[in-house]
């Protein structure tokens, strides 16, 4: 990708920013070794493989063949279990600390923003380490080898992956992943936060990074901010639906651009007061 420099007009504008919204997709975790869906090296590069994954990760497959849903889910969770936050995730945490108001809207289910220390996260598609029993509603989670949070109350991901079937609750019911599957509604409480924190009162700066921006609720916050005259940035090596609408499209990797943005923003580590 090579070295980039931020345009001077952008550096100047970043100094004035007080409130920030960041929207992330699978691309921000690519540099942590987790494959994206679309884009270069994404599994949809192979359309058959892509179709099979969408089918497996759908509400109707969960009902008819939960083992199949879980096999697909284990691929994401298994990759995530070995991954560490990269410079992009860490820069977002630094940006949050500098901002007077901050929200992160992520489509990722890999938990890496949480591990990087970002606080105000709307994980609109859920978390692949969390599960809910489809029979009794009990919640549980996989022990996360990245945090050392291994307790006997948690599910053992290695055992579950080795068995390669849907994990079960002590009540006998099948667990489902606490993620939004294809064909399912978004959780209302998270949508309400998305509206309140990004749409009703758009932040001074909205950054979209590493997402192919296929969903209206991902595109909308960027368009609303742009229409309100706020600063908008896209970070993606490729062009997407929103590229023509942002003030600055940085065609580079998240791990390169985000630390530069964090450095250019005014403020102190005590910014939150
Ligand atoms: P996507 O796979 O559709 O698109 C990824 C985008 O990231 C592409 O536009 C690509 O050009 C860009 N990209 C690739 N490498 C990059 C880098 N180093 N820096 C910046 N950008 C980069 O991702 P999506 O829009 O998030 O949609 C995928 C869906 O699948 C989401 O709903 C998500 O829940 C799920 N998913 C999650 C993970 C994860 O949790 N890490 C991984 C794969 C898929
Ligand atoms: Zn149960």
Q: What are 51-76's pLDDT values in tens digits?
A: 888 899 999 999 999 999 999 999 88
Of residues 89, 113, 125, 249, which has the active-site annotation? 125
Residue 113 known to be catalytic: no
Helices (H), the chain: 8-14, 47-56, 59-64, 66-81, 87-98, 112-116, 157-163, 188-194, 216-227, 254-264
Radius of gyration of the chain from its Cα atoms, rounded to whole angstroms: 19
Question: Which is more confident, 3 or 93?
Answer: 93
Nearest CA, atom 30, ligand 1:
37
Token pair of 220 as six digits? 């909308």
- Is residue 1 over pLDDT 50? no
Tell me the torsion sign for CA atoms 214, 215, 221, 227. Answer: positive
- Is residue 156 over pLDDT 60? yes
Supply the pTM of this predicted model. Answer: 0.92
Domain hosting 265: range is 1-34+85-125+186-273
Ion ligand 2 contact residues with beta carbon within 5 A: 133, 135-136, 138, 169, 171, 173
CA 175 / ligand 2 centre spacing (Å): 7
SS3 195: helix
Token pair of 266 as six digits? 């005014």
CA 39 / ligand 1 centre spacing (Å): 8
Cα–Cα dist 233/178, whole Å: 30
Nearest CA, atom 2, ligand 1:
37
How much of the chain exceeds pLDDT 90, in percent?
Answer: 77
Of 18-22, 38-42, 155-159, which gets the smallest average pLDDT? 38-42
Cα–Cα dist 208/190, whole Å: 18
C-beta of 38 in contact with ligand 1 (< 6 A): yes
The answer on 142 and 54 residing in a single domain is: yes
The answer on 252 and 146 residing in a single domain is: no
- Give the pLDDT confidence of 219-252 residue by residue, as tens digits: 999 999 999 999 999 999 999 999 999 999 999 9
Q: Tell me, what's the pLDDT at 267?
A: 61
Cα–Cα dist 158/164, whole Å: 10
What CATH number is associated with residue 212?
Answer: 3.40.50.1220
CA 48 / ligand 2 centre spacing (Å): 34
Domain boundary among the residues 139, 162, 179 is at 179
How many domains in the chain? 2
* Residues 6+ away with beta carbon under 8 Å from 87: 31, 255, 256, 258, 259
Q: Tell me, what's the pLDDT at 44?
A: 65
C-beta of 27 in contact with ligand 1 (< 6 A): yes
- Is residue 272 over pLDDT 60? no
- Give the pLDDT confidence of 190-223 residue by residue, as tens digits: 999 999 999 999 999 999 999 998 899 999 999 9
How much of the chain exceeds pLDDT 70, in percent?
Answer: 92
The answer on 244 and 153 residing in a single domain is: no
Ligand with an atom nearest the CA of residue 139: 2
Q: Tell me, what's the pLDDT at 90?
A: 98
What CATH number is associated with residue 158?
Answer: 3.30.1600.10
Question: Which is more confident, 3 or 150?
Answer: 3
Cα–Cα dist 45/116, whole Å: 29
Token pair of 49 as six digits? 């493989």
From 4, 22, 26, the mutation candidate for ligand 1 (largest count of ligand atoms within 8 A of CB) is: 26
Vertex 170: Cα angle to 166 and 175 (nearest 5): 30
The pLDDT-based confidence of 273 (bands split at 50, 70, 90) is very low
Residue 10's DSSP bridge partners are none
The answer on 223 and 133 residing in a single domain is: no
C-beta of 49 in contact with ligand 1 (< 6 A): no
The answer on 105 and 232 residing in a single domain is: yes
How far apart, in Å, are the Cα atoms of 120 and each of 132, 169, 239? 23, 30, 28
């Amino acid at each position: 990708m090579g070295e980039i420099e931020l345009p001077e007009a952008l550096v100047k504008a970043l100094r004035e920013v007080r409130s920030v919204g960041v929207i992330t997709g699978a691309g921000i975790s690519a540099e942590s070794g987790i494959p994206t869906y679309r884009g270069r090296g994404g599994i949809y590069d192979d359309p058959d493989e892509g179709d099979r994954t969408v089918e497996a990760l759908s509400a109707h497959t969960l009902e008819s063949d939960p083992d199949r849903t879980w096999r697909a889910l284990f691929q994401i969770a298994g990759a995530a279990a070995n991954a560490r936050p990269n410079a992009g995730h860490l820069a977002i945490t630094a940006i949050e600390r500098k901002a007077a108001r901050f929200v992160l809207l992520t489509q990722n289910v890999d938990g890496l923003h949480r591990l990087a220390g970002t606080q105000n996260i709307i994980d609109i598609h859920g978390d692949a380490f969390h599960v809910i029993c489809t029979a009794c509603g009990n919640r549980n989670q996989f022990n996360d080898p990245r945090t050392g949070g291994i307790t006997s109350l948690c599910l053992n991901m290695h055992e579950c992956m080795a068995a390669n079937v849907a994990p079960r609750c002590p009540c006998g019911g099948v667990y489902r992943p606490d993620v939004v599957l294809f064909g399912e509604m978004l959780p209302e409480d998270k949508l309400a936060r998305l509206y309140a924190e990004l749409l009703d009162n758009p932040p001074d700066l909205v950054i979209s990074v590493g997402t192919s921006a296929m969903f209206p609720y991902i595109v909308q916050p960027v368009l609303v901010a742009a229409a309100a005259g706020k600063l908008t940035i896209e970070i993606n090596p490729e062009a997407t639906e929103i590229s023509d609408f942002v003030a600055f499209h940085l065609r580079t990797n998240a791990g390169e651009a985000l630390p530069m943005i964090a450095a250019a923003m005014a403020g102190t580590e005590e910014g939150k007061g």
